[in-house]
Amino acid sequence: MRPRDTTRRLRDATAAPPRRVRLQAGPELGGARVLDALAVLVPAAVGHAVPRAELRRAVVAGAVTVNGAAWRRPGEELPAGGARIEIALRAAYAGRALEAEEGETDAAGALAVLYEDEWVIAVAKPPGLLTHQSADARRPHLFGLVQEKLARRAGGDEGGLPYLGSHQRLDKDTSGVVLFAKARAANEGLARAFEGRDVEKVYVAVVGRPRQPLPDAWTCEAPLALVGSGKQAQMREAAGGQAARTEFRVLSRRHEALLVECRPQTGRKHQIRAHLAIAGAPIAGDVRYGGATHLGGVAVPRVLLHAAALNLPHPVSGRPLRLSCPLPADFRPFLGKRGVRSRAIYSGDSKKR
């Protein structure tokens, strides 16, 4: 036996055994592909992003059961009316989620509500979940899950799903705070705030070691234009592009990674991602814009961009509404042992720096 084979077998033999995580797919996931459902349910259960490739590996390997039967085809559709799902996750991805093994987690029930009153609801969007419905209606999305959560709370689906209005969108990989209108009377105020730039958005991103040292704070005003199409499309700096402005501040520095606060002053597609790439510091995991796939020997699970705070006038009362969403667990390996004080991110400071 070759030394390399011996090493691999010894490593496999001493590795921690897989951990079984029990999940509950609600009726809202009926007809969704099992891989798409796992991409929503598993991160909510274990508290951090899990690479889609790892979930696919588990399905193909027979490590996923639906209603007690092993499913090996990632594209197979879940039954209507809900399903019990169990997945054997490798320990490196299961983390310390003991509560996930002992209980059941469904997509709508797992959504964390950050703020709610009779007019609006703000929730923490997990990574890997679409904000709105795509062309493929079987794919889970945040809008539908919030509607399902409100419908369950109201005691069922009598009269159809409750009203929900949306004025905000996050990319699939981006986590963080998303605000919805629960009542039509709140729509006009939200539309006015978002369109009139009365909303202060605060994001945080993990970036790899930049090509050249970054200042503690800087502003990028590079105009952006879309180049290419499909999954290869990028927003790039162009003289005739749309005006775009983002303010940046470095919150922490490590040898291999920086945590950067991002405050977009305009709302262009991929604005933060493109402006950080222009600065020579693409977001970790953002392969499209040149981001690193590993930092300090640790695999980056996704595009590490998080919508940390949203500050705006309440759409009905006009009072300041300050919403914040804690850093997700998949940021922690890249922040160092001391982490980052939340006050540095969620200060709600709208003063120009």
The domains found in the chain, sorted by start residue, are 1-110 (3.10.290.10), 200-345 (3.30.2350.10)
Say what the pLDDT of residue 136 is.
76
Using CA atoms, how far apart are residues 155 and 153, in angstroms rounded to an integer? 5
pLDDT-above-70 percentage for the chain: 84
Q: Residue written as tokens 């933060």?
A: 272
Say what the pLDDT of residue 329 is.
84
Higher pLDDT among residues 41 and 66, named by residue: 66
Going by pLDDT thresholds of 50, 70 and 90, the confidence category of residue 28 is confident
Say what the pLDDT of residue 2 is.
45
| Coil/strand/helix, residue 282 | coil
**Could you give the residue numbers annotated as active site?**
171
67: left (phi over 0), alpha (psi -120 to 50) or beta: left
Residues linked to residue 87 through DSSP beta bridges, in sequence order: 21, 64
Tell the burial category of 204 from Cβ atoms under 10 Å away from its Cβ (0-12, 13-18, 19+): buried
Contact between residue 271 and residue 244 where contact means Cβ atoms under 8 Å apart: yes
Say what the pLDDT of residue 278 is.
95
Say what the pLDDT of residue 306 is.
96
Mean pLDDT, to the nearest integer, of 160-173? 89
pLDDT-above-90 percentage for the chain: 48
Q: What does each C-alpha distance from 252 to 269, 297, 340 come to in angstroms?
A: 26, 19, 7
Contact between residue 306 and residue 203 where contact means Cβ atoms under 8 Å apart: yes
Going by pLDDT thresholds of 50, 70 and 90, the confidence category of residue 341 is low
Least confident of 66-75, 105-114, 230-239, 293-302: 105-114
Say what the pLDDT of residue 12 is.
44
Say whether pLDDT at 340 is over 60. Answer: no
Say whether pLDDT at 321 is over 70. Answer: yes
Angle separating helix axes 34-46 and 52-60, nearest 10 degrees: 120
Say what the pLDDT of residue 339 is.
55
Of residues 237, 238, 242, 311, the one with CA closest to residue 276 = 237
Mean pLDDT, to the nearest integer, of 282-300? 92
Across the chain, mean pLDDT equals: 84
Say whether pLDDT at 4 is over 60. Answer: no
Over residues 217-259, the pLDDT tens digits come to 999 999 999 998 877 889 999 998 999 999 999 999 887 899 9
Over residues 48-94, the pLDDT tens digits come to 778 888 999 999 999 999 999 999 999 999 988 788 999 998 877 77
Over residues 116-139, the pLDDT tens digits come to 999 999 999 988 888 988 877 778
Mean pLDDT, to the nearest integer, of 142-146? 91
Which pTM was predicted? 0.77
Residues linked to residue 201 through DSSP beta bridges, in sequence order: 310
Of residues 185, 139, 147, 141, the one with CA closest to residue 164 = 147
Say what the pLDDT of residue 16 is.
63
- Cα radius of gyration rounded to whole Å, the chain: 21
Say what the pLDDT of residue 76 is.
92
Say what the pLDDT of residue 13 is.
40
Number of Cβ within 10 Å of residue 191's Cβ equals 14
Say what the pLDDT of residue 248 is.
97
Going by pLDDT thresholds of 50, 70 and 90, the confidence category of residue 347 is low
Of residues 305, 304, 310, 48, the one with CA closest to residue 178 = 310
